[in-house]
Each structure stands twice: as structure tokens, then as C-alpha cells.
Structure 1
């Protein structure tokens, strides 16, 4: 084992980014403590790493900063039912994010985002496979591919997505309606075409996977403290301080991997990062998971269907509304309506969940040191790909902490881009 310069690391956040980062660091022999107000092994802990659609989506490099859909955004925001909505009491707080988003909503920025999402997405599956060799994934992982479907009314947007992915060398198989139905015969044929990412993995239990990785982290010597972190700062060249309500902890370096909650800490550091929240929802239909064999993403409607161990999970939509607003019944009703249109066999749902995606207006994550505090490292802002990028984020951040050389161009993920 190499003798790394860094002697101790504190990580704020026990979601998939924090746990994977902790695991990679502890493998290097660097002492690590993860902090979170929730215990990752508790069934009461239901972050984005619990409630997501379960997709490993290394192909999903084209994001929302697209000029072809900008014209549709106002109409979607004013609609009660649709893939995008806004909590209007949050509008003024969202203005900094909107301002940066509009600057980045052009073809050049769109392709820049796609290029640098592809750089890390292309490494995502292999990073996970290294971890999966060390944990028990029984009845949690499948490799049957993932299908996207759409109608002809948005054909121009779909063709753009297909072209960008082709240009980046991403494997995709275009499907006719009949070809989709051969794979998923229970689907209501209310779509026109589809695409299959046939080598893609998905998990039927994201929280179970997170727990297994966390147990591996503990087994290898990592520590966990259930503390609600209130502040942190760098006080010298080799010392950072993490404070909870009653305790104070010293580390050489600190990683902020708190997802959508990270901004509360970065604001204290004097770094004005336009991180905000895309709220997403899910519901389950008990005993209905065998209606489909793999995840189905319905692009026109902004939601997906995933076979889970808990039942069939219908998940999605984007609601811009911050961390503190209550859940929206209309969002849940919309997802249920869409799910039953695609699978008329569905009966009553049995639970509802709201989670928070950490969103940056150029849709690239922040991976790297704070601009003002070099021993504080950022690992957040993964938007819809937090689950996909967990393992590779852990490898990248552990490399930054231990000052390893890399062939990756990490400059596009720096927080400096918002200065």
C-alpha cells in the first residue's frame, strides 16, 4: 500500500457519492470518517440514493441545456400536469439558477456538457464492477438493458439525442413500435419508436446496493458518525474543521458530498455556487414488477417504470421548488396517470416518495477542490446521474485527495466555472 501524503479525511454525506468516495480512500489506507444525520443502514433513510429509478445510465450524456426544448419550458412550467413544474413560491430564489441556465442553453454549451459527461460516464460501469466484485448483489442487479420510448410529435428532439450519442460512439439500438412490444408485450402501444441500450445494468434495490457498499467501507476500517453537520472551514494548510451542533472534528481534508444539501455548506465558504434542487417523485405498485422485464423511460412524459423488489416503481418528473416545500399531490397524480396509461393493468399504488436531485445550471457535476479552500473537496451536482456516477466519482475524488496523476481533463468540473 502506498504511503499517501494525506493523513485523514472527513466526508459530509452518506449517499452514493460519499460512500463510494470513502471506500476508495480507505482502500488506499487513508483514515476516513463519513458524517450524516441519517444512518445509511436504517430503513428510515430515504435519500436520492434510495428512491431513484435504479438505472445505470452511462449513455445519458445529453442534458436539459438544449436550445431545442427551451421554447417549451414556459408552457411546461405553467402546466399543472407535465414533466416539468415550478413551485411559484420558490421562483425568486431560483433566479440565480435560471440566469446561469439561460446562458448555458445553447448548442455550444449543450455539446460541451455532453462531451464531458461522456468522459466520466464512459468509465462509470467499470468503476462499479470493481466494487460489485466485493459485495453481495444477489437479487439486486440485472443486465437486460434499458428502453426509451417516444412519440413522433417530438421526433426532432429524439433525432438530436440519437445523433449526439452516435457522434460520441455510444452504442444504441433503434427500435420500431413492434420491436419494443416484442421485448415488453404488456406495454400499451401509445408510443411510436424506441431505443434500446442493451448492455445497460439496472438495480432492483438501489438502497440495498448502497447498504452493501457502506458495509464494505466499514469492514475495511472506515468510520461513520451520525451527526448533522452545521459548518466546516479550512483553518490552516493542513487542517479543516467540521462542526455539528455539539461536537468539532479535525481532518487534513474534507469532502462535501451532501447532494442537494451541499449549498448550505459551500455558501459558508464564500463560494457562490448556483446549486439548486430538482425534486423528483416515485410511487410503487405492489406485485406489478413482473409486468416489464427492464426499465422503460417515457421521454415525452418525463417519467420511467422500473421493476423493483418493492414492486413496480414509477418515478420521475422535475419540480423546481427547493428543499423545504411540501410534496406536490399533482406531481404524484401525474406519475400515477402516466404509469396507468402505459400499463393499464396497474391497480392502486401503495407509497409515495419525494427526493432531491442536486442540479447545476450547466448540468455538469462539481468535482474538485473549493476555489477558496484547497483542502475542501467538492463532489456534488450530479443531477439525474448521481446513481450512475457514484463509483467513478469515488475514484476521481480519491485521486484528487491523494494527489494522483490522471489522464482525465477535470477542469470542466471545477467550481471556478461559476466565478
Structure 2
């Protein structure tokens, strides 16, 4: 709809799951909200994820083993990591900071921060699911994580110990127990974990769409425009859209994921936001092939039963956000999915998305150093879907001048100096 220069309590930039959760929470709490995005809500990175509500995901991508395994990961065609060396050389700040955060002490700190935050994930997301009447999109059937080799499982011992220390509820499973749960697995399995109580979403874009509809029923507005620049002052903030429109609001929430640093005037431009490019392929005729998400640790992907088929989602590609789709990543996912499940044919859909990742694998949530009229909420890396609800509630509290119930000191933008 066309929006004139009206006053809003909160302008939200970005209509992915984090942005829409923020907009719905804020509108539900009585604020007058405008959300801006040039694309269909939920059609970006939210659309293509592994779709797990990963409350167990307190282990950062950073890990002490990276130092030892990095040469192998970068050179082996069976690696779930793809790295553009030229891009890395052009962005040394992010790369060096990421490696620094692979130290054991830092990993323990990051895991503790994520673990504590994840305990509030369901409380933040469930009210929005109920508000949007999207309970039918949620499946509660646990989640499996499997290792195909003894070495891989033993190397993960310290990470799994960290999970246990953070209160994650899981059972260790034998190969026979895993096959009883998922008989279509063809790959020999050494050991696995079952994350009890884990859920997944069968259609994340539909979830965002229903949240948008409820947001608008409650009086919220959606503007199909990109915000390119903002000007905060003592009394509010002015957002400038790509078509020249100026919109005035009391506060602005920056929830544009991997493109958050492209909005000028917010202060986010100075933060070391990186992009982990991720891929998925979809097999439409194998919708019921598995009954729950299965993460294959060594291969770096999840197999998730979706509304439209079997999705194989994963890979970490370090490259420019605007680089072309890397066919070798699609080939890798296809080859490994055939290895896991046997002959399931060719994929019917391929996809590339962009995970917004800070070098310490923690999100950025809080007031911008430039102005407390601007609130940051991005950098959720692999768990944006999981943390969207609680993040939206925190942003709403900040917009209302209320101290959030969750401690967000670890996520402050100021931690990067």
C-alpha cells in the first residue's frame, strides 16, 4: 500500500523472520509499526533454511579444531566448506577476528551466551505462532544428529559436553536405534544424538506470511520499498527509501540480515558483519522419506521433511554476498544426499541464501552507538529462525524504553569497539 510521510512508533527494515517477528511483537504490544522490504516477506534467507527450531544450537561455528582442520576443509572436495581466498584477503578483519574467537576460552564464552539466550527462544516464538494461527506449520518430533565415523564422533565430544553443560536434553543413540527411527538411511552410521523436544517448521515463508497478515490485521503497515539511508536526531529518525520517500518514526529497527550494513546512517556500516552463504536442494517426491530433521555432522547439512518435499540444506561458503551461485556447492549436496539415502534422483529445486554472521557467532542486538533511536537486531547466523521471536520481543522492549528480561550485554554492538 502507498504510505505517506506518517509518524510511526517503530520503523522496521527487513521482512525476514527476525524483522517480521519484531514487527508483530511491537504491533501486538501497542506500537504503531511500519515494516519495509522490497521483496516478499520471508522470501530471502528465511525461505531456504534447514527449518529447525534449534534450541540445542549453543555450539558456535568457531571451534578450536578449526585451526587443525582448516587446511583439510579448504582443499578437500568432500568438505562442507567453500572459501573464496580472494574474498578472504579483501576482508581480513572478519577472518582474523573469526579465527581469534576459535580459542577455547572464547568458545566457552560464546557457547554460554548462546545457551542462555536459547532458553528464551520458545517463549519468544510461541506467542507469535499462536497469534498467526500457524500451529499447523510446526512439527514436534525431535531432531537427530548423526556421525558416520568414529573419528568424527570423538572429535565432537567436547562440543557435546558443552551442550550438556548448557542444559541441552539429548540421548545418545546406537546405529540400530537410529535406523529404527529412520529406516531410509543408507549410509553406515557410527553414533547419533536425539535432541528431545526439538521442533521444525514445514514452510517458513508461509509462517512469515501468516505473521504479516496478523500484523496488518492489528493495524501494522507494510511498505514494499528498500530503506537506503536513515537520519536519527534527538526526536526520532527519518528513513529514506529508494524511491525518495521520507518516513518519520520515533525509532528504527535494523533487521535486514546480511544486508544490514548497506543501510547508511545507522552506524552498522562500521561493524564486521560477514556472510555465510548457504544452499539447499529439494526432492519433491520424497516428502515422507524422513520423519524429523537429520543433521549429518561430517557432511555439514540437514535433511528436513518439508511441506513440499525433502530438503537438503547446508554448506558454508565464504564469498561475496553478490557472487553467483556456486554449482560445486549444489553438486556437493546432491552427491552427499545420494550417499546418505541411496538413489533418490535429481533435485527439483536449488537455492542460495546468505546467513548474517558476526566473527564471534553472536548476534548484534541493542542500540546503535550512533543513536539510541536506532536498534540493531541482526547477525543470527544459523539460528535466526530459532531466535527471531525472543529478538523481536527484546527490540519491542527497547523501543518502549523497557529493560528486556533477557540479558543482552553479550550481544551489544559496542563489543566491537
Q: TM-score range by the shorter chain?
A: over 0.9
Distance in 1 (alpha carbons) for counterparts of 2:90 and 2:36 = 28
Give the CA deviation at 1:263.
1.3
Give the CA deviation at 1:296.
0.4
Q: Does the 8 A contact of 1:267 with 1:273 survive in 2? A: no
TM-score (norm 1): 0.94
Partner of 1:353, secondary structure, is strand
In the other structure, the counterpart of 1:32 is 33
Give the CA deviation at 1:136.
2.9
Q: 2:323 aligns with which of 322, 325, 342?
A: 325
Q: 2:248 aligns with which of 238, 250, 256?
A: 250
Answer yes or no: is 1:58 the counterpart of 2:70.
Answer: no
CA distances 1:29-69 after superposition (whole Å, capped 9, x unpaired):
111100001132xxxx6311111111000110011221123
Distance in 1 (alpha carbons) for counterparts of 2:269 and 2:307 = 41
Aligned pairs for 1:5-404 within 5 A? 8-40=9-41, 46-137=43-134, 139-150=136-147, 151-234=149-232, 236-245=233-242, 246-265=244-263, 269=267, 271-404=269-402
Give the CA deviation at 1:232.
1.2
Give the CA deviation at 1:337.
0.6
Give the CA deviation at 1:105.
1.3
Closer, same or farther in 2 for the Cα pair 1:158/1:373, shift >3 Å? Answer: same
CA distances 1:280-313 after superposition (whole Å, capped 9, x unpaired):
0011111102111001000101011011111110
Closer, same or farther in 2 for the Cα pair 1:348/1:275, shift >3 Å? Answer: same
Distance in 1 (alpha carbons) for counterparts of 2:312 and 2:63 = 25
Partner of 1:279, secondary structure, is strand
Q: Does the 8 A contact of 2:263 with 2:269 survive in 1? A: no
CA distances 1:238-294 after superposition (whole Å, capped 9, x unpaired):
221111122111111101000000011267637521001000001111110211100
Give the CA deviation at 1:88.
3.2
Partner of 1:71, secondary structure, is helix
Q: Which runs of 5+ in 2 are unaligned?
A: 1-6
Distance in 2 (alpha carbons) for counterparts of 1:252 and 1:133 = 28
Distance in 2 (alpha carbons) for counterparts of 1:255 and 1:266 = 13
Closer, same or farther in 2 for the Cα pair 1:98/1:34, shift >3 Å? Answer: same
Distance in 2 (alpha carbons) for counterparts of 1:225 and 1:137 = 23
Q: Does the 8 A contact of 1:233 with 1:269 survive in 2? A: no
User: For the aligned residues, what is the CA RMSD?
Assistant: 1.6
Partner of 2:311, secondary structure, is strand
Q: Does the 8 A contact of 1:278 with 1:322 survive in 2? A: no
Give the CA deviation at 1:139.
4.4
Distance in 2 (alpha carbons) for counterparts of 1:322 and 1:186 = 37
Q: Does the 8 A contact of 2:284 with 2:309 survive in 1? A: yes
Q: Which runs of 5+ in 1 are unaligned?
A: 1-5
Closer, same or farther in 2 for the Cα pair 1:362/1:138, shift >3 Å? Answer: closer
CA distances 1:194-237 after superposition (whole Å, capped 9, x unpaired):
00012011111111111111111111111010112211121x21
Distance in 1 (alpha carbons) for counterparts of 2:14 and 2:268 = 20
Distance in 2 (alpha carbons) for counterparts of 1:138 and 1:166 = 29
